[in-house]
Every structure is written in C-alpha cells, then in structure tokens.
Amino acid sequence: MNRSNIVELKNVSVIYDTLAALQDVNVEVQEGEWLAVMGPSGSGKTTMMNIIGCLDRPTRGTVIFDGEDISGASLKTLTSIRREKIGLIFQQFHLVPYLTALQNVMLAQYYHSLVDEKEALKALERVGLKDRSSHLPKELSGGEQQRVCIARALINYPKLILADEPTGNLDETNESIVVDIFKGLNAEGSTIIVVTHDREVAQRAERVVRLAHGKVVTGRHHRHHHGAHSPQDITRAKPNG
C-alpha cells in the first residue's frame, strides 16, 4: 500500500541568530502514521513541531504539507492550514480559563466553521468527559484538562494531530488514558505526531524519530501497522545503543 506523505521536511534548518535549532532535517510522515519524536532537551523537538504544525517557517529548506509547498507561505495561509488540517495538543493544555470544557471545545469549531454543541459534546464523550462538560478548567484535574485539549484538537477532524509532550504534566494513570485515546484515533486513521520524553509513550507509536543537537539521529520504522503492539515492537523502538 502506497500511502501518501502528509508532511515532508527537506533539508530544513531553523536558525535563531547563530544557533541552529534544526539543521538539515529530513523527515517524512505518512498519512495515518503514528510517529513519536524523542531527544534531549534543547534538541529541537518543539522547533520541528512548530514547522510541521505551520506555526513557524524554516530559515532554509522545503516543507511540503499535504502535497503543498508551504516553505514560503504567508502567515494567513499557515493560519488557514492550522485551522483546517491540524489539531494541536499542548503540554500546558492552554485552555481558556473562563470558558467551560464544552466552550473550550466549541472555540475550535467557532474559528473553523460553525459551533455545534452536540458535536462538541460527542468529542468530550469520546475522551470520557461528557459529565464534566460544564466545568471550568480550574475545576478539572490535569489529566482531564489534557483530555479537553485533545477533544478541542480533534473536533474539526484534522488530518494531522500534533502533541508536544502531551503527558509531560500527567501521572501514569492519566498518561495511559491519553495514550489510549491516541491509539483509538490512530486506529481510525488519524495521523499523530507526539513529542515525548517518555519511553513508554514513544514505544506505543509506530515509529520513533530521534533528534540531537538539531539533527535527526534515527528514524526507524516499526514493521507493523497501527493496532496491535507486540513486545517485540517495543524492543525495536528502543534506542540502538
């Protein structure tokens, strides 16, 4: 099966003043893939996610998103790609504090097209938060806030879901709830890219890309497709020495 690429980074560099946060990075992500990005702090993971997530433009190199070269696209174009095709999940959740869980989800609908309360409730139900829909973020636990953030990210059926350290602020129980949600989404065909420090989270992805000092160190394909993860897969995903 020849799946098309949702994102291609070709020799992408991002340079801040003199510091190269990314250096000649080449990464391809296929549609329907579940990719984990790992690497030490400061290795350029967030920088790469910003490029893929159309939040930033590379200093050099080419970015192809969904078949479109967006390396030099206008901010307006990038905004519309984010709105139409990308769901963002943040380590700090970034919920609007004075809006309820439901309203936070509907916010994404509002900027996308039309608000639809039933749809938004369904999204919350999907992350197991239907009964907490009228709560404010401060009345929710970290895990619950992250699930609201996920519901907001998937409400508009994005082609690509990007999560930068989604479990960084969560305990193990919530971490596994979140990863299970990703698994479900991926099984339904969503492309997911997760930045993580957590080996267990990375092991559940199909493939791991490792960054160090702004360069890709390994980009290793698991042999299987989404779905069942055997213990062997987990072994394969582990770092090579």
Partner 1 sequence: MVALLAVAIGATVFFGMATVYIDVPVRLSTAFRAYGANILLLSEKGLSSEELKEVRNFVPEANLVGLNPYIYKTMLLNSHSVTVTYTDLKEAVLTNPFWQIKGALPSERGEALIGSDLANILEMEEGFTAELGDINQDILFSGVLKTGSGGDNFVYLDISELGDSYLADIAELSVSLSGDNLEEFRTDLTFEFPDITPKLVKRVVNSETAVLKKLQALVLFVTIVVLSLTMICVSTTMTAVVLERLKEIGLKKAIGAESRSILMEFFWSALILGFFGGIIGCFAGFAFANFVSLSVFSVSVDLHLGLAVLSVLISVIFTVIAGMIPVYSASNVNPIMVLRGE
Ligand X SMILES: Nc1ncnc2c1ncn2[C@@H]1O[C@H](COP(=O)(O)OP(=O)(O)OP(=O)(O)O)[C@@H](O)[C@H]1O
Q: Which stretches of the chain bind ligand X, using CB under 6 A?
A: 16, 19, 21, 39, 41-47
66 contributes a contact to partner 1 by CB under 8 A: no
* Closest CB to ligand X: residue number: 46
**Interface with partner 1, residue 82, by CB under 8 A:** yes
Residue type, 42: G
Rounded distance between C-alpha atoms, residue 120 and residue 117, angstroms = 5
The residue within the footprint of partner 1, chosen from 76, 118, 138, 223 (CB under 8 A), is 76
DSSP code string of 25-39: EEEEEETT-EEEEE-
Under the binding rule (CB under 8 A), the answer on residue 92 touching partner 1 is yes
| Residues in binding contact with partner 1, number by CB under 8 A | 23
Q: Which 8-state DSSP code applies to residue 130? A: G
If binding is defined by CB under 8 A, does position 16 make contact with partner 1? no
Of 79 and 176, which has the nearer Cβ to partner 1? 79
Whole-angstrom Cα distance, residue 91 to residue 113?
26
- One-letter amino acid at 186 equals N
- 112 touches partner 1 (CB under 8 A): yes
The full DSSP string for 59-97 is: SEEEEEETTEE-TT--HHHHHHHHHHHEEEE-TT----T
Number of residues counted as binding Mg ion (CB under 5 A): 1
| 46 near Mg ion, judged by CB under 5 A | yes
Rounded to whole angstroms, how far apart are CA atoms 159 and 73? Answer: 19
Which residues form the interface with partner 1 (CB under 8 A)?
A: 46, 50, 55-56, 76, 79-80, 82-84, 86, 88, 90-92, 94, 96-97, 107-108, 111-112, 152
